[in-house]
Structure 1
Amino acid sequence: MGSVFFAGWAGTTDGAQSSSGAAPSQAQIPVETQARGKDAQAGVPALPRGKKLVLKDGTFQLVRDYRRNGERVRYLSAERGDWEEIPAAVVDWDATAKAAAAEQAEEDALAKKIHAQEQAQKIETMMDVDASLQVAPGVFLPPGEGMFLIDGKSVRPLEQVGSQVKTDKKQFLKKVLSPIPIVPSKRNVEILGDKANIRITNRQAEFYLREAPPDPDRTTPIVKSSRPGESGPEVELVRATVKGNKRQLESIKNLFGEQVEEKRNSISIQRWEIAPTVFRFTMSEPLPPGEYALAEILPDGMNLYVWDFGVDPATGSKATTTTLKKKD
């Protein structure tokens, strides 16, 4: 009986590693262990490597499972895949417990690292999706801030143009000639040029505005003539009145230094918040041919920097979007 035991014991110690840390040669490492090493180098989580059953002579057995039954320990060898037995007296149970704790700590650290990588990838994916929102089948909003025109499958960024405030000469003359100072002064908000560069024939195009989250350390490309509001952008669609080589957006009347009237031809639009800081604007009715501007209404009045475009009569069955060449 004793000779049988020692023969089995000699077989089970083949390939056991020494506590001195000397690594076996590549030829002695099982194929499964080599594959795990390659996976680890590639950053792929390794398969379960088994548990260490540490012996009192400083060596250990790599086991899948073990069971202590009285004075005997039966274990499933991770290297050979067979159930084998050794005396319980040759096992260093304290060292085995410490090895198990160290292995568990290593697995927990690896799990946390993988979780952190997955979370980072998830956040990066969300940012990528937010930067290119799908606004129609196969149509995506480009990254970056600003106002975008969606005309069928076409996506065009709209450039802001600066308007200017001019005193109405006729009203000024009336005020000068009046013996009683009850004639209000009048100023007009105008855009130079009789036509916008961006031209469309689609009378129900949509618009998307992407704003950046508030950041005092970052400058936004969206220009505002006064401080912005705090409840999201209040945007109006204004139809301009063409007068000579200018487009009039608004008239403002003042009396005794106080503003008494603010007049503009606004067309109803709906605003939809489709993502944080991304807003969609749709038409309440088809737009007739003419000159238009999307203007943000700020607490101090209409933003003097607007997004302009023009609607032309459709010449065929298909709507088009064109850009006029800028005049030198």
Structure 2
Amino acid sequence: MRWLCPILLIAVCAAFAASQRLYLKDGNYHVVREYQVLDDRVRYYSAERGDWEEIPLELVDLDRTRKEVARREESLADERQRQAEEAKFDRQRRAEVRKIPDAPGVYFMAGDELITLGKAETLVKDRKRRNILKVITPIPVVTGKSTIELAGEAAARKISAERPEFYILLSEEQDFGIIRLKKGKGIRVVEEVTIMPVTNEYVEEMEHVEIFRQQVGDSLYKIWPQEPLTAGEYAVVEFTQGKANTQVWDFSYQPAAP
């Protein structure tokens, strides 16, 4: 429906140009196409009667009439500016979306440059050991608590934008978002998973960052934090609740030097 906005704006401008109020000092007004001040009288074209008419100048509230015209012109100028900014934003968004490859994954816009985030290899740690957790494969069923971890205390990808914008192209419809990772000795913890006895159900705990999300294509979403990030380790994640199949694209946020 966005393409209707310029047409609507033209219609509003045309209506404004076609009529305005010529205010009188008694509080009434005439709806006119235009008016002219001629010595001691005002000549105007009546929009209601379709003809030129005159009225004594002393009966006309020119100050109010001119202020109303100025106010409406300012309002229209603001609307034109808003429409121009919205059109520019839409053009920029379409240009960004065209850069996104067809391959499912996570992409980051650094200025005009599109950066592909690498998918991290996750490890599962239970009470006895750590094992490599294969992508989109649930963790081994061992009753109790386990953690999903990444090797190393910091991600290779460094980002300085405090509210970074990511595009995520899903391979299938799943949940997704941005999470904060917990740093440990030589590791970063993605989530804690409790496997319930008897039922073997997964209860997952991640530290989610509140985000805005916008669908911009088939299975393609743009996401960004609602609030500026604080320095630390983060990841974009894709997952299915209760399946312990989290996919992780990690990054470090460090503010740019002043």
Please give the TM-score of this superposition, normalised by the length of structure 2.
0.52
From 91, 101, 106, the counterpart of 1:143: 101
Distance 1:236 1:281, change over 3 A: same
Task: Map 1:253-268 onto structure 2 (within 5 A).
Answer: 253-257=194-198, 258-259=200-201, 261-268=203-210
Q: 1:164 to 1:197 in 2, by over 3 A?
A: same
Q: For residues 196 and 101 of structure 2, what CA distance do their matches in structure 1 show?
A: 45
Q: Summarize the Cα distance change of 1:156–1:302 in structure 2 as closer, same or farther, 3 Å threshold.
A: farther
C-alpha distance in 1 between matches for 2:245 and 2:197? 24
Aligned equivalents of 2:211, 2:225: Cα separation in 1 = 5
Which residue, 152, 163, 188 being the options, matches 2:122? 163
Deviations 1:146-181 (A, max 9, x none): 210123333211111121211146xxxxxxxxxxxx
- The whole-number CA distance in structure 2 between the counterparts of 1:259 and 1:234 is 18
The whole-number CA distance in structure 2 between the counterparts of 1:249 and 1:160 is 13
> How far did 1:205 drift?
0.9
State how far apart, in whole Å, the 1-side matches of 2:118 and 2:157 are: 9
Q: 1:302 to 1:261 in 2, by over 3 A?
A: closer
1:234 to 154, 170, 175: 175
Distance 2:227 2:186 in 1: 28
In structure 2, relative to structure 1, the CA distance for the partners of 1:295 and 1:302 (3 Å cut) is: farther
Deviation at 1:312, TM superposition (A): 0.9
C-alpha deviation, 1:259, in angstroms: 3.8
Task: Specify the code of the residue in structure 2 equivalent to 1:269.
Answer: I
Query: CA contact under 8 A between 1:251 and 1:264: conserved in structure 2?
Result: yes
Q: Map of 1:58-69 to 2, 5 A cutoff?
A: none
Is contact 1:164–1:304 with CA below 8 Å preserved after alignment? no
**Matched-pair contact (CA < 8 Å) for 1:194–1:243:** yes
Q: Which amino acid aligns with 1:296?
A: E
Which residue in the other structure is 1:292 paired with?
A: 234
Q: Does the alignment pair 1:187 with 2:187?
A: no
Structure number with higher strand proportion: 2
AA partner of residue 295 (structure 1): V
* Residue number in structure 2 paired with 1:311: 253
% same residue? 25
SS in 2 for 1:301: coil
1:118-157 aligned at under 5 Å gives the runs 134-135=92-93, 141-145=99-103, 146-157=105-116
How far the C-alpha of 1:254 sits from its partner, in A, is 2.9
For the structure 1 residues 134 and 147, does the alpha-carbon distance in structure 2 shift closer, same or farther, using more than 3 Å as the test? farther
Residues 120-156 of structure 1, C-alpha deviations (whole Å, 9 max, x = no match) = xxxxxxxxxxxxx953778952433221012333321
Structure 1 runs not aligned, ≥5 long: 1-132, 170-183, 212-221, 223-227, 317-328
Count of aligned pairs: 153
Cα deviation for residue 302 of structure 1 reads 4.3
**What is the distance in 2 between the residues matched to 1:163 and 1:138?**
30
When Rg is computed on C-alpha atoms for both structures, the one with the higher figure is: 1
What is the CA–CA distance in structure 2 between the aligned matches of 1:291 and 1:279, rounded to whole Å?
22
CA, structure 1 residues 274+137, in 2 after alignment: closer, same or farther (shift >3 Å)? closer
Find the aligned partners of 1:136 and 1:309 in 2 and give their Cα distance.
25
User: In the aligned structure 2, how far is the partner of 1:314 from the partner of 1:136?
Assistant: 28
User: What do the CA deviations read for 1:42-86 (whole angstroms, capped 9, x no partner)?
Assistant: xxxxxxxxxxxxxxxxxxxxxxxxxxxxxxxxxxxxxxxxxxxxx
Contact 1:162 1:304 in 2 (8 A): no
Which position in structure 2 is the counterpart of 1:210? 169
Q: Partner of 1:280 in structure 2?
A: 222
User: Cα offset for 1:284?
Assistant: 1.0
Deviation at 1:280, TM superposition (A): 0.8
Structure 2: state its 5+ residue gaps: 1-90, 129-142
In the other structure, the counterpart of 2:190 is 249
Query: The residue matched to 1:160 in structure 2 has which SS?
Result: coil
Quickly say closer, same or farther: Cα 1:162–1:304, change in 2 above 3 A: farther
The Cα RMSD (Å) is 2.7
The answer as to whether partners of 1:252 and 1:259 remain within 8 angstroms in 2 is: no
Which whole-Å deviations, capped at 9, do the CAs of 1:76-107 have from their partners, x for residues lacking one? xxxxxxxxxxxxxxxxxxxxxxxxxxxxxxxx
Q: Deviations over 1:243-300 (max 9, x none)?
A: 0111001111234244474211111112211122221112111111111111112255
Aligned partner of 1:244: which letter? K
Residues 193 and 244, structure 2, Cα contact 8 Å, conserved in 1? no
Q: In 1, are the aligned partners of 2:203 and 2:242 still within 8 Å (CA)? A: no
**AA in 2 matched with 1:277:** S
